[in-house]
Amino acid sequence: MLAAQGAYLAAQGVQRASRRAYTGGMNIASLKSPFALRLGLLAASLSQPACSSDLPAQDPNLREAEHAPTPPAKAGDDGGQVSERTDARVASVGDAALLDAGQQPRAASGGGAPFDAAPPNSPAADAALVAPPAAQASDAAASSSAQGDAQLAADTDAAVDLIDEAFAALRFGQAEKRQSLIDRLDERVQQRPEDGYAVFYSGAFRFWKFVEGTKDVGDLVQNLSLPEQTLERFARADELMPDDFRVPGFYGMYQVIMGMLAGNAGMKSDGLQTLDRAIALYPAYGYFLRASATSGAAVDDPIFATALDDMESIFRECLIERSDGEVTYPYPLGPKLEARPHVCLNDSIIPHVWEGMLITFGDMAAKAGWEAERVRALYRSARTAPNYADWPFVSMLEARIEGAEERVRLLTDANPLNDPASWGVEGHLCTGCHQER
């Protein structure tokens, strides 16, 4: 009963004025407000008794084995052909950024297992036909190992294919595929609970559903366990892959968002600590995720000022100089600087990260009460991206440029119910950077 009441009240928008803090400006009095529904989803899920995990049991020795050093390759092996192919497949879903950060990508199985046996049909395998019995036994073991490695490589390829498909749905805004992809990722997790990538992305695509997919009361009622499941998967992924910068980044962001929505100071504090780890691993990436989370705080909360500082830190990390003209940050054209992190510019699976960063920054500045022309200069900066005209949300940014004065006025007046929606809660927190068209 309490859960149903929580969902109903939030769906009706019966929220305290202090809820303005996280909305960053959103009229939550409307029954049709997706964010009001997400508040209902959260309220309902938090009023439920803790439920048992739907994740499979995990071998207690797994994490130690996963993070054991990879032994060096031995003479006579396959020269790294299998592992190179696997690393290339993993890189295709975003590990180019990991490589730019000076780190090596992990295999999608979660452990980066070595591929150090001779492949089938190699000279070593052919020699077994004429080798003495003892040598045949030794070579049979090597052949078995090679087959196991081939199976692991095939299994890895299948997992990465699934993640590729999931990213394609995000890239093309195919929200209708979201649940089936989550289901398939869950199947993968059930089969391979040590697959850190599958665990992480099963959480990440739930996050996409949570922040962009709650459109009506029916969605809310069917997904009461969604927030808890998302949090659980990010926590498990953090156990499996603590050194992959994406994992503590998303986990910490989600902890802070959930902590602020639920009024849970401990969860919020834990999330900020998790985000500190993400920033240490990859500053440009971590700063943006922390700013995306903390920008929802009240203007007089110290962490809101941190969000503005973090946005400026991103551009410093990206080696992009600030301007005092009509555009605050011009898109850097010309040859790519080797020292500039991959995540700073439009590329690959983040075809519009530049526009997403600048519209987010502009909304934060408007909420903070910056002068309208300074806010407008941030918005105009998004226009400098070379592929800006292809961004699916051009009209939304242009409306902000045109109405900067009104946005600042509404966000800083005494009435929280007339606030225009901020980018993060408007339903584009994921697609705003990732959707190509």
- Distance, CA of 427 to CA of 181 (rounded, Å): 19
Nearest to 262 by CA among 417, 40, 422: 40
pLDDT at 55 over 80: no
pLDDT of residue 346: 95
Return the minimum-mean-pLDDT range out of 22-31, 192-201, 211-220. Answer: 22-31
**Cα–Cα dist 334/116, whole Å:** 41
Q: Model confidence over 325-349: pLDDT tens digits?
A: 899 999 998 888 989 998 999 987 8
- pLDDT at position 149 is 63
Confidence of residue 373 (pLDDT cuts 50, 70, 90): very high
User: Taking phi first (over 0 means left), then psi (-120 to 50 degrees means alpha), and beta for anything else, what does residue 323 get?
Assistant: beta
Q: Which one has a higher pLDDT value, 17 or 242? A: 242
Q: Sorting pLDDT into bands at 50, 70 and 90, what band is 42?
A: low
* pLDDT surpassing 90 at residue 357: yes
- Look at residue 350 and give its three-state secondary structure: strand
With cut-offs at 50, 70 and 90, classify the pLDDT of residue 78: very low
Distances (CA, A) of 210 to 39, 289, 437: 10, 16, 21
Selected residue with higher pLDDT from 133 and 119: 133
Decide: 329 and 358 in contact? Cβ < 8 Å.
yes
Q: Tens of pLDDT along 224-271? A: 788 899 999 999 999 999 999 999 999 999 999 999 988 999 999 999
User: Which range among 46-50, 66-70, 347-351, 380-384 shows the weakest confidence by mean pLDDT?
Assistant: 66-70
Joined tokens for residue 101? 């950060």
Q: What are the φ and ψ backbone dihedral angles of 56, each rounded to 5 degrees?
A: -70, 155
**Residue 219: per-residue pLDDT:** 65
Q: Which residue has the higher pLDDT, 255 or 106?
A: 255
- pLDDT band of 183, cuts 50, 70, 90: very high
Boundaries of every domain in the chain: 58-67+76-241
What pLDDT was estimated at residue 349? 85
Note if the pTM is more than 0.85. Answer: no
Q: Do the Cβ atoms of 275 and 256 come closer than 8 Å?
A: yes
Inter-residue contact 105 to 99 (CB < 8 Å)? yes
pLDDT at residue 222 in the model: 67
How many angstroms separate the CA atoms of 67 and 242, rounded?
10
Separation of alpha carbons 151 and 203, rounded Å: 26
| pLDDT interval class at 10 (50, 70, 90) | very low
pLDDT attached to residue 261 = 87
DSSP label at residue 93 = I
Q: Which position has the token pair 């591929």? A: 115
Angstrom distances, CA of residue 400 to CA of 21, 87, 309, 359: 21, 42, 22, 9
C-alpha–C-alpha distance, residues 247 and 267, integer Å: 17
For residue 350, the cross-strand partners are 347
pLDDT of residue 287: 98
Please give the pLDDT value at position 140: 53
Q: Which residue has the tokens 């109405």?
A: 403
Q: What is the mean pLDDT of the chain?
A: 74
Q: What is the CA radius of gyration of the chain?
A: 24
- For residue 354, the number of C-alpha atoms closer than 13 Å in the C-beta half-sphere is 28
pLDDT of amino acid 90: 39
pLDDT for 336: 84
DSSP state, 359?
H
Q: Is 322 helix (H, G, I), strand (E, B) or coil?
A: coil
What percent of the chain clears pLDDT 90, i.e. is strictly above it? 48
- What is the reported pLDDT for 5? 35
Q: What is the pLDDT of residues 279-329, one digit of tens each?
A: 999 999 999 999 999 999 999 999 999 999 999 999 999 999 999 889 999
pLDDT at position 197 over 50: yes
Nearest 5 degrees, angle CA 197-CA 143-CA 67? 30
The answer to whether 200 touches 169, Cβ cutoff 8 Å, is no
* Residue 211 to residues 220, 417, 426, Cα–Cα distance (Å): 12, 20, 9
Highest mean pLDDT among 16-25, 69-78, 177-186: 177-186
- Closest residue by Cα to residue 109 from 145, 162, 73, 56: 162
Q: How much is the pLDDT for 60?
A: 45
**What confidence score (pLDDT) does residue 217 get?**
63
Reported as a pLDDT band with limits 50, 70 and 90, residue 113 is very low
Residue 350 has φ and ψ, to the nearest 5°, of -125, 70
Beta strand extents in 135-252 (DSSP E only)? none
3-state SS assignment for residue 347: strand
Span 417-432, pLDDT tens digits: 999 989 887 888 899 9
